[in-house]
Structure 1
């Protein structure tokens, strides 16, 4: 007779499957220990439509690179962080009549960036603005706070904007 406290064969198999799936899931990758960057040039080349940036704090991390089961090949890179836009830039972007924004708080903020998020930010996000920024060449979300003229970006494989050089 089987012990009631024992997880049994199915329980052990299910637990093993959960562990394997978590190890293979790029979203489960932690960025703990990643170095926060403050250089502007890579961001300005990729997000040229935002104009001149300042006060940037961002991470560029390879997704899935820590999995022992990953298949060799191209690596997706998550570029996530904050930067200040010029004075009044966010109000100009969000006030454009052809765009629609709604209140939305960023999710999945890496711990290394938490201290650089503006206090009391009233984030807004617009899908049409995201689409204008990415031009359909990569995935990304852009959150804007008019009170601090700050953008929070969370992108995967952001490409260099046309006309910004190699």
Structure 2
């Protein structure tokens, strides 16, 4: 009986990080291209979609925030074109919360740059997100919460 009680207590205290640990690395492009249409065609994507705030206690169902985080390649020269706009104010900045499952897919020696202005344009002010770009590999690292479908991507 004590063992059953201990299992119940442990299940109730399960960290929300477990959902990220259990997530499978995805490579499909369509969900990313629909949400991040301004980046243009993508390739070589590796990303996670994880529910935040989920627990195993059987709490009242409600809205669930979804974190989409990962990397993808843009067409050749796209990152240089994006980052060359002086009004954007791109500056060197490393992504802060890289999930371990994605570490092997991040370009070695990447020189990430980020712009608050570009982030605002990408999110349209409707969700939170940060977009780090590496001009040397034409790679984007994105970390977003509840990214909506881009209006330009259709229904």
TM-score by length of 2: 0.86
Q: Which residue of 2 aligns with 1:122?
A: 111
CA shift in 2, pair 1:70/1:144, >3 Å: farther
How many residue pairs were aligned?
143
Q: Which has the larger radius of gyration?
A: 1
Q: Which residue of 1 aligns with 2:125?
A: 136
Would you say the 8 A contact 1:51–1:85 is kept in 2?
A: yes
Would you say the 8 A contact 1:29–1:64 is kept in 2?
A: no
> Is 1:37 aligned with 2:26?
yes
CA shift in 2, pair 1:35/1:92, >3 Å: same
**Considering only aligned residues, what root-mean-square deviation do their CA atoms show, in Å?**
1.7
Tell me by how many angstroms 1:140 deviates.
Answer: 0.1
Segments of structure 1 that go 5 or more residues without pairing to the other structure are: 1-22
Aligned residue runs from structure 1 range 36-55, under 5 A: 36-55=25-44
> Is 1:160 aligned with 2:146?
no
Specify which of 58, 75, 80 is matched with residue 69 of structure 2: 80
Q: Which residue of 1 aligns with 2:96?
A: 107
Tell me by how many angstroms 1:64 deviates.
Answer: 1.1
Q: Which residue of 2 aligns with 1:68?
A: 57
Tell me by how many angstroms 1:70 deviates.
Answer: 4.7
Secondary structure in 2 matching 1:131: helix
Greater percentage in helix: 2
Would you say the 8 A contact 2:68–2:144 is kept in 1?
A: yes
Determine the C-alpha separation between the residues in 2 that align with 1:136 and 1:121.
27
Greater percentage in strand: 2
